[in-house]
Amino acid sequence: MYYSNVFYSNAKTSYHITYTPDIVYAKRPGRDLKLQLLSPVPPALQEPPRRTYMTVLQEQGRVPRPTAPAAPKELPRFPLIVDVPGSGWAGAEVIKHVPKMVRLAEEGYIIASIDYRGVYQDDAPFPAVIQDVKEAIRYLKANADVFHIDVDRIALLGDSSGGQTVVFSALCGDGPDYTIGGNRDQTTDVQACVAFYAPVDPEYLVQDRIAEHKDLRFGEDPYPFELHELFQETYGDEPEKYLQSASCSRLIPTAKKLPPFLFIQGDDDIWIPMAQDARFCDNIRAAGGRAEMIKITGAGHGHGCWTPEVYDQIIKFLKAYL
C-alpha cells in the first residue's frame, strides 16, 4: 500500500530527567574523555557494596542473611542521541551545551554530550575527533543495560564543526582509520543524523563563500581557514588531498548505509554558506538516501537557530526515523 502523504503524530509524553556528569568513556594519553548524560531514567551505575557491622556478622554466619528482594521490574529502553558540540575542532566545552539538550531528553531520549580531543589542545588532527565519536558510540552500546539504551535507535547530533563530525561519522563506517580504543565488538551504525550549520565539505568552502558574497576568513586564499582548524600544519604540500579527506560528500558513494539526515541552517550565517548543506542533501538524494534541510530566515551561526519551532521539527524527524 502506498501513501502519497505522510503526517507526523503530535502525541507527547513528557519525562522527568536525570543528569549524570563526567562519565569516562575513553582514556587518552594525558586525559580521560568524558560524557554528560541526560536520561529519562537514572543509569544503573554500580557502586561498591558498603560493609557495615551487620554485614560483617552475616559474612561470619553469626546472624542470618536477609531474604533476597524480588527482582526489580525491567525498565524500558530509550533511544540515544550522541551530541557532539561544535568547537572549530578545538575541543568542546561540553557543559555549556548540555542545557540545549534538555528539551530532547524530556521527550524520551537519552542524551550523551561528549568531550573529544581538540586539534591544537591535544595535538590530535582530524580524524581523531571521528575516532572519539566512534568510541563513544561503542562504549554506550556496550553498556546499554546500564544506561537503558535501545541500541537499534541511535542518532547523532552536532552543530558547526560538530555538525561536520556527526555527518562524517554517520557515513564513514568502522574502518581502521576511525577505530581505536575499546569495545571493538560493537558497531557504530546510527539510524539518523541531525546537523546544525555544518561545514560538511571543507574543500568547497572558499568558493561557496565567494558565491554567497560572504567575507572570507583570515588567510583564505585559496584554501579555507578550516584547513588549519582540521589539520594544524600537517597537510604539507597536499592541502587539496587533506580537505577532500574531511569532505562528507566524498563518503556517500562508498557508504554501506545512508541514514536519514536533517540539516538546520540560518540564512544570515557569516561562516557557513547555505550551499554546503544544500549540496550534500542533493548528493544524498541522488544516491537514494533521505535528507531534509530547514532554512531559518534571519538566523546566524548558532544565534536564532535553537528555537522552540526547530526543536519541534527535530523531534518530529527523530520520531519518524528512530
Rounded to an integer, what distance in angstroms lies between the CA atom of residue 200 and that of residue 192?
16
pLDDT digits (tens, 9 = 90+) for 9-35: 455 567 889 999 999 999 999 899 999
Instruction: Answer yes or no: is 6 within a domain.
Output: no
Amino acid symbol at 30: G
SS3 139: helix
Tens of pLDDT along 130-166?
A: 999 999 999 999 999 999 999 999 999 999 999 999 9
On the CB side of 54, CA atoms within 13 Å amount to 5
Interior CA angle at 103 toward 101 and 104, to 5°?
70
Q: Which of 241, 251, 198, 175 is nearest to 84 (CA)?
A: 198
Residue 202 within any structural domain of the chain: yes
Residue 214 inside a domain? The answer is yes
Sheet with 110-114: list strands edge to edge: 18-28, 31-39, 110-114, 78-84, 149-159, 192-196, 261-266, 291-296
The residue-averaged pLDDT of 92-120 equals: 94
CATH number at residue 313: 3.40.50.1820
Mean pLDDT of 65-69: 63
β-pairing, 78-84 vs 31-39, is: unpaired
Q: How many domains does the chain have?
A: 1
Closest residue by Cα to residue 235 from 87, 121, 86, 126: 126
**Domain-located, residue 54:** no
Instruction: Identify the residue whose cell numbers are 565539505.
Output: 201
Read off the pLDDT band of 92 (50, 70, 90): confident
What is the domain range of residue 316? 18-45+74-321
In a domain, 68, yes or no: no
With 0.85 as the threshold, say if the pTM is over it. yes
